[in-house]
Amino acid sequence: MLEEYKEHHRNVWPEMLDALRRNGWRNYSLFAREDGLLFGYFEADEDFAAALEGMSGEEANARWQEFMAQYFEIPPGAKPDEMMVELEEVFHTE
């Protein structure tokens, strides 16, 4: 289902993109490996927790997460964006 997933991300809903911008998600990228492993990266205007909290109140995000849930292996009742974790940056060239 990876090709379907990629196609949906080539056509992200405008209201979802607006919600991301409104909640300080900047420089957001998703990367996929052939076996379906995904890695996402974004920079937050405030911090990771505030960015996630802001999106949790967005109606467009709730619909998007429900729509995209079929592409993830997650616990029953969970949403893909609830499985995100913050990683510590250990190296940066700039």
Residue 9, burial from CB neighbour count under 10 angstroms (0-12, 13-18, 19+): exposed
Catalytic one among 4, 6, 9, 41? 9
**H/E element holding 80?**
none
Rounded Cα–Cα distance for residues 4 and 68 (Å): 10
79 contacts: CB under 8 Å, gap ≥ 6:
65, 66, 69
Clarify whether 9 is annotated catalytic: yes
Q: Kindly list the catalytic residues.
A: 9
